[in-house]
Structure 1
């Protein structure tokens, strides 16, 4: 049995859009991204919340273990979201893996 990561140990990211066009891309593809990530094996939680800046989102994704996170990362990279947002800057902090 895998030991879940503590809920305070998650991957946090914030897309930092540089233009209204990038904001539109995030808005278009984010709902499906959320749905698919929450369905990923080992996903404990995936939350995306707007901040006071429309170009920045708080993202917290928690996974059961490093292996499930790595599988998720591979799926995302080759997904429609991954292709559509490839040029959008992100700032990541990974804890607990």
Structure 2
């Protein structure tokens, strides 16, 4: 099995921007510390502050699924789970 690459965007409402920003550093730090995480980047769009870009690479499908499970049960997951996402996931 190969690496899992996920890229795309997450979009929040105008009144949710500060909530996302306040949790972002912790979410990045925890994600990067996960076993099997090769890269994890998350940043706010320069032109549209409601849009956040994500680029992540995990060693395997199992590592990616472990990340998804941790995220679902985290504060980040609780606050952002309803937000629109446009992600592309590929196996390399």
TM-score range, shorter chain: 0.7 to 0.9
Distance of 1:50 and 1:80 partners within structure 2? 19
**Counterpart in the other structure of 1:76:** 71
Extract unaligned runs of 5+ from structure 1: none
TM-score (norm 2): 0.87
Extract unaligned runs of 5+ from structure 2: none
CA RMSD of aligned residues (A): 1.7
Larger strand share, 1 or 2? 2
TM-score (norm 1): 0.83
Q: Is 1:46 aligned to residue 28 of structure 2? A: no
Runs of 4+ in 1 over 4 A off after TM superposition: none
In the TM superposition, residue 4 of structure 1 has moved relative to its aligned partner by 6.0
Q: Is 1:59 aligned to residue 39 of structure 2? A: no
Deviation readout 1:49-75 (Å, 9 max, x if unpaired): 332211112210100010100011001
Q: Is 1:32 aligned to residue 64 of structure 2? A: no
